[in-house]
């Protein structure tokens, strides 16, 4: 692969990136990388699909907002996508993740409706059942990939949807204080949960130190 590019792969999702100060340089780097990828496919009897391949530019120059990257793969022009989705995270030009948070908020509203219907049943809708349902459906959707967007300036826009989830569990009204709701349900506020999830993810990426270096692994018995 070209030294001017970086590649990321997870399962069948493959991403090639290039960072330059000029659009022409990025176009040349991506074209070269895709050509090498095509040769690899041919040697291994694989087939690329340019129709499902998208290209996007990330930059802060407003005058180039709608400027496309004219990249071709195997003679086929690639689609310029404003908000590409990679591993379930919606990207945008400035990497503010505003669109992803907006879409996540809509995803939380749907399970919230299911949770609201459960509260109307006289049987089976105990507080424990509602809490488990909220964590499994609503909070899991709302916190997906949160280490990526937790520090975005738009992250607070998701709080109202998760607050509604928390309000449905004990059957609280809108004027009910949010701090009391979190105490009743035993669920931490949204910003706290997001920060904890980010720290856990970060700790898993830290290098593992040799914890046994200062320990006597095979102590000898006293004679």
Question: Does residue 192 share a domain with residue 102?
Answer: yes
Do 172 and 111 lie in one domain? The reply is: yes
Write the pLDDT tens digit of every residue in 34-84: 999 899 989 999 888 888 899 999 988 888 888 888 899 888 999 999 999
Distances (CA, A) of 111 to 15, 134, 158, 162, 180: 31, 8, 14, 11, 23
Same domain, 57 and 108: no
Q: Report yes or no on 217 lying in a domain.
A: no
Domain that holds residue 44: 5-82
**Contact present, 37 and 72 (Cβ < 8 Å):** no
Co-location of 171 and 135 in the same domain: yes
- Does residue 53 lie in a domain region? yes
Is 182 in contact with 188 (CB distance < 8 Å)?
yes
In a domain? residue 198: yes
pLDDT 10s digits, 84-133: 999 999 999 899 999 999 999 999 999 999 888 888 767 667 888 889 99
Indicate whether 166 and 195 sit together in one domain. yes
Task: Note if the pTM is more than 0.75.
Answer: yes
Is 15 a domain residue?
yes
Q: What is the distance between the alpha carbons of residues 29 and 179, in angstroms, rounded to a whole number?
A: 52
* CB 187 within 8 Å of CB 143: no
């Amino acid at each position: 692969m070209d030294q001017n590019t970086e590649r990321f792969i997870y399962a069948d999702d493959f991403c090639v990136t290039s960072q330059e100060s000029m659009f022409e340089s990025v176009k040349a780097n991506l074209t070269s990388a895709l050509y090498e990828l095509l040769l690899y496919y041919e040697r291994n009897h694989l087939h690329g699909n340019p129709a499902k391949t998208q290209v996007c530019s990330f930059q802060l120059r407003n005058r180039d907002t709608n400027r496309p990257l004219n990249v071709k793969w195997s003679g086929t022009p690639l689609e310029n996508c404003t908000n590409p989705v990679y591993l379930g995270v919606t990207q945008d030009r400035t990497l503010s993740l505003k669109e992803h948070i907006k879409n996540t908020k809509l995803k939380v509203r749907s399970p919230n409706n299911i949770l609201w219907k459960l509260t109307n049943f006289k049987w089976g809708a105990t507080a424990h059942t509602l809490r488990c349902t909220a964590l499994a459906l609503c909070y899991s959707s709302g916190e997906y990939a949160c280490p990526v967007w937790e520090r975005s300036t738009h992250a607070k826009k998701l709080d109202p949807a998760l607050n509604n989830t928390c309000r449905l569990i004990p059957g609280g009204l809108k004027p009910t204080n949010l701090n009391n709701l979190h105490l009743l349900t035993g669920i931490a506020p949204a910003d706290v949960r997001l920060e904890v999830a980010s720290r856990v993810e970060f700790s898993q990426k830290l290098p593992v130190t040799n914890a046994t270096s200062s320990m006597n692994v095979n102590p000898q018995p006293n004679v």
